[in-house]
Structure 1
C-alpha cells in the first residue's frame, strides 16, 4: 500500500504527527493533491517554531514560507532560550507579518527588541482576519508614547477576539487603551499590576468583554471604583497582593452577570489586619452582588496577625465555610493547610477541587477541610496541578494525607527525599521538566537514579543547587532515558573548568543534549564543546572571564563571532547581561 491510496482525511491525520520541516520536505511539490493537503493542514494547525533547529528554521523561511504565507492561519515565533534571535532571523529572510494575509492567530514570545516590536505594530494592522494575539514574556524599553501606541494598535484590530499580554516596560507603563474595540471578548493582562481607575478605562474601551484576567492592585487610597454596571463580563480571574472587603465589594458589585470567578490572593503583610475574608464575608459578597455566580474558585496565602491559639483560629476560619450556603446550595468545599511546627509560616486556604496549576508542598503540613470524610477521592482534587515544588527534609514529620499528584509535568524537588515523596507522586510518566536542588549529597545517588529511571517523557533536567562534590556523580549516572534533551547546569556552585567541560561533552547525557545552560571558566573551551556535543543546537553560557561593560565593545561577542562557525547566531541576553546565547544549528 502506498500513500497515494490513503484518503485525504487519513493523510491530514498523519500530518498532525510530523514536524513541519519533515512534512514540507517529504510532501511539498510531489503533486497538486499533496500541495493542497499541506495548505489545508496549515489553515487548521499552528505553525509553531518554539522548538526548532536553526538549520530547519532557515530552510522553512527560505524555501517554503514565501510560497505558503497567504495560506497560514496560526503562527508562533519565539526569541526564548531554545530559539534565540528567531524573530530577528525571520525578518532577515525578508519575511514580514503582513504577508500572512489570512493569519487568524499570531503569537510572539520573548521579544525584547523595541525596534522589532514597532515593526510588528506597523504590520499587524494589515492582518484583517486576525482574531487572536499573544505577546508573552516581552520586555521593552518603550517610553509612555510608544507604550500607548502599542496598546492602541491592538485595540484597533477590527476582528480581534482574544488578547494575551505579558509585557514589562522599562518605565512601568500601564496598558490602558484610548481607543475602543468592538470585537475583544477575552483579555488576559499580566506583568503589570493595574489599579481600579485603569480597569475602568479598559472596561470602557472594551464593551464586548466577557472573560477578563488581570493583576489587580486594590489600594485603599484609590477611590476610582468601577463606575457603571458591566453586564457582558461572565468570567473573571484576578490576582491580588492584598485584600480589603469594601474594595472587593465595590469592584464586583457592577458585574452582576458573573458566572465564574477565580481569585488568587497572596496577603502576607502583617500590617493589614484584615488579611483574609472568612466564609461569612464571602457569602455576603456573593449573595448581595453576584446572583448568577455558579463557579467560585480561590486560593489565599496569608499569615495570622496573632499567632496565639493558631489552630483554634484556623478551625474558626474553616467553620465559617460550613454553612448550608457553601455545602448544600453550591456544593463548594474548602481546604486549609499549614506548617505544623513553624508558627510564622504561611497558611493556605483554597477551594476544592484545587483549580490552580502550581502547588507548594513545603514542610510538615497539616490539612483540614470541609470536604466529607467519607469520600475517598482526595487525589482527584489535585488533578489540575501540573507544577509541584516539593521541599521537605527527610527527617521532618509528615502527617497522614491522601493527597496525590497524578498529572505533574514540572517538578522541583530537594534531595534527599523521604518515603512520603514516593507516595505523594505515585507515577512520573507525564513529567517533562525536573528541577533538582541538593541539600546533602550523601547517599542520594540511588534516589535520583530511581527517579530518572521512571520519567520516560523527561525532556528538561535542571539543577538549581548542586555542590562541586556532586558533579562527578551526575556525569557518571546511567541515563537510560534518552528523552532528555535540555540540560541546565547553572545551579552548580562553581564555574566549570576545562576538564569538567570535556567530561560533560563526552558523557552520554552531553552527547544527547540539544540545549545546554552552563557556567564556564574559559570561553575558549567552547570550540571543544561544540565539536564533541554533536546534537547541541542551542548553548547558553555564563563566562567567568567575561569583561562585559555596556560602555565598551563586547569583547566576548567579538571573539565568539571570530572563532565559531559563521552559521551560529550569537547574542547577549538583553535582560540578563551575563548570559550569552548561541543558536548553533
Structure 2
C-alpha cells in the first residue's frame, strides 16, 4: 500500500476498507505527511483481532491513543471509533472514521463503542445512527429481539428511513408490517419472528399471514441461506 500511495501525492480524498488489516494512527500519520500532503477527506474501516489473552479495554485504549493527537483531533478533525463485542472471549475490533462512511453495518447488541470524538453520544447505535452512507443494517444476533416500540423507533429514525436492506428478529408478526409501512426506502427485509411454537410451523403460518396482510407487490419466501428467516422483497 505504501508503494501505491507514493504515486498519489495529489490525492484529496481517500476512502479505504481493509478487512483483517490494521494500520495504527502513528503509521497513518507518517504516510499522510510523507505522501498525501493534499489529503482533505480521509475515510477508512479496518479490523484487528482481540485474543482472549488481551485486556480488551487496554487494547482499545492503545488503538485510540494512536489517533489521539493534534494531527488527528485539531489539524484535520478526523475522529475514530472502535466497535467490539463484549461477550466474546476472542473477537474482532472494528476501527473506522466518523461519521461512518460505508454502506453496511453489522450490529448484534452486547457491544462497546469508544471513540476520539468529544461528542461521542451522537454516534450511539443503533437508533441514533446519523451516517448517511449506510444502506444495509444487520441487527440479528443471539437473544436480540426487537419489540413493537423498538421497531417503531427504528423505522422512524434517520437510519430506518434510509435503510434499504434490513436483517432483524422481531417479537411479533405485526412488527413486520410496521417496519414495511414505515421504512420508506426498504427494499429487502430478512426477518425472524420470535415465537414459542416450533419454528418451521410458525414460518409456514407466518408466510400465509403475511401474504394476506401485505400488498401483492411484496414477494415473500423462506430464506435458503439463513435458517428460520423469512425474506421479503418490497417493490
Tell me the TM-score range normalised by the shorter chain.
0.7 to 0.9
Aligned-partner SS, 2:175:
helix
The reply on whether 1:299 has 2:32 as its aligned counterpart is no
Aligned match for 2:7, one of 254, 267, 273:
254
Q: Does 2:194 match 1:445?
A: no
Note if contact 2:211-2:220 (Cα within 8 Å) is conserved in structure 1: no
Gaps of 5+ in 2: 194-198
Structure 1 gap segments, 5+ residues each: 1-247, 268-274, 396-415, 495-508, 516-585
* Residue 324 of structure 1, CA deviation: 0.4
Look up the match of 2:136: 387
- Secondary structure of 2:43's aligned partner: strand
TM-score, normalised to structure 2's length? 0.76
Distance 1:433 1:349, change over 3 A: closer
How far does residue 255 in structure 1 lie from its aligned partner after superposition? 1.7
Distance 1:277 1:433 in 2: 30
Q: Distance in 2 between matches of 1:298 and 1:458?
A: 26
SS of aligned partner of 2:141: coil
In the alignment, is residue 363 of structure 1 matched against residue 98 of structure 2? no
**TM-score of the aligned structures, taking structure 1 as reference length:** 0.33
Counterpart of 1:314 in structure 2 is 60
Shift of 1:386: 1.0
State whether residues 337 and 367 of structure 1, in contact with CA within 8 Å, keep that contact through their aligned partners in structure 2. yes
Query: 1:367 deviation in Å?
Result: 0.5
Structure 2 partner of 1:107: none
How many residues end up aligned between the 2 structures? 219
Q: Describe the SS at the equivalent of 1:450.
A: helix
1:115-130 alignment runs, 5 A limit: none
C-alpha displacement at 1:431, in angstroms? 5.0
Question: Any idea what SS the aligned residue of 1:467 has?
Answer: helix
Q: How many angstroms apart in 2 are the aligned matches of 1:514 and 1:313?
A: 43
**2:151 and 2:175 in contact (8 A); partners too:** no
> Deviation per CA, 1:14-33, whole angstroms, max 9, x where unpaired?
xxxxxxxxxxxxxxxxxxxx
In 2 relative to 1, CA 306–280 (structure 1 residues): closer, same or farther, beyond 3 Å? farther
Shift in alpha-carbon separation, 1:287–1:514, aligned structure 2, 3 A: closer
Q: Which structure has the bigger radius of gyration? A: 1
Match of residue 83, structure 2, among 322, 332, 337: 337
Whether 1:426 aligns to 2:156 is: yes
1:305, distance to aligned residue in structure 2 (A):
5.1
CA distance in 2, matches of 1:308, 1:475: 49
Deviations 1:404-445 (A, max 9, x none): xxxxxxxxxxxx32566654553445555555668xxxx632
Correspondence 1:287 to 2:29:
no
For each residue in 1:303-344, what CA deviation from the matched residue of structure 2 results, as whole angstroms up to 9, or x when unmatched?
A: 035632121011111011110000111111010110111131
Structure with more relative contact order (C-alpha pairs < 8 Å, separation 6 or more):
2
1:469 aligns with 2:202: yes
